[in-house]
Structure 1
């Protein structure tokens, strides 16, 4: 749903879709460029949620089957 450069690069993870609104978790609410890029790549209204970086990284590791950092 989102390109890898936004999910992995900016730590943004979509986690739910209700009607025409997609919920996206991010760890940096001050990343205006990242939020704008997410909004432009989706044809939905975006509802933003703040999440811990570790929680987003864990989710991305599960989804993309990434190796754990040493």
Structure 2
């Protein structure tokens, strides 16, 4: 697939894989951490900009509610 036909997710994954080929030990450590904890990059990449905005708005509102009721 040419680079012009790639979706942003495919391009990020291709670049991540190319970077991992240069540093296999670091890539193995990253994969182990990502498998156990998840990755914010993966989350925001899968949500898109609208989903990321809604998630950020939800987090701000949750903090405000916490600050009002529990402090």
Shorter-chain TM-score tier: under 0.3
Question: What TM-score comes out, normalization by structure 1 length?
Answer: 0.26
Q: Relative to total residues, which structure has the larger strand share, 1 or 2?
A: 1
TM-score calculated relative to the size of structure 2: 0.26
The structure with the greater share of residues assigned to helix is 2
Higher relative contact order (CA 8 A, sep 6+): 1
Looking at CA atoms only, which structure, 1 or 2, has the larger radius of gyration? Answer: 2
